[in-house]
């Protein structure tokens, strides 16, 4: 028997938005940005089986990347993949065309932003808008 899953994109976005605001209470969090299929509308958009791709832009952190993968997960949200990068790491990845930074710049929905950080990051990297990651 085939099982059909109902998908309510708006409810899913609200769930992520609430969790992003909670994560934003941490002082080192500069921005929380949703990208990937859930951020897109239309035929290339999300399905009931889509995960949420989340960029967490950090001012700085002493944690190694592996520890950040756990520490910066959105509270109470299942089915997500988190990419917690410091500002400097994200800049380097954007310039090299590696990782999720260029897709986040191109299609990201910012659900939390401290003092215009995501807008500044996008402005400083506008040459990469619309460019995907390499390889």
All domains of the chain, ordered by start, with CATH? 9-126 (3.30.460.10)
Confidence grade of residue 131 (pLDDT, cut at 50, 70, 90): low
Share of the chain above pLDDT 90, in %: 67
User: What is the predicted pLDDT for the residue at 116?
Assistant: 98
The Cα–Cα gap between 50 and 102 comes to 20
Amino acid 9: pLDDT: 85
Query: What are the residues whose beta carbons fall under 8 Å from the beta carbon of 6, sequence distance 6 or more?
Result: 48
Taking residue 39's Cβ as centre, other Cβ atoms within 10 Å add up to 21
Check residue 135 and give its pLDDT.
41
Give per-residue pLDDT as tens, 66-119: 999 999 999 889 899 999 999 999 999 999 999 999 999 999 999 999 999 999
């Amino acid at each position: 028997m085939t099982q059909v899953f109902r998908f309510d994109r708006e409810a899913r976005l609200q769930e992520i938005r609430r969790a992003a605001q909670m994560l934003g209470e941490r002082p080192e969090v500069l921005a929380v940005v949703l990208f990937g299929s859930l951020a897109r509308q239309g035929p290339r958009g999300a399905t009931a089986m889509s995960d949420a791709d989340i960029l967490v832009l950090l001012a700085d952190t002493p944690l190694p990347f592996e520890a950040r993968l756990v520490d910066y997960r959105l509270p109470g949200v299942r089915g997500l993949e988190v990419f917690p990068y410091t500002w400097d790491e994200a800049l380097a990845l954007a310039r090299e065309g590696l990782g999720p930074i260029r897709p986040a710049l191109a299609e990201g929905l910012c659900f939390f932003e401290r003092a215009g950080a995501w807008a500044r990051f996008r402005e400083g990297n506008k040459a990469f808008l619309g460019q995907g990651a390499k390889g």
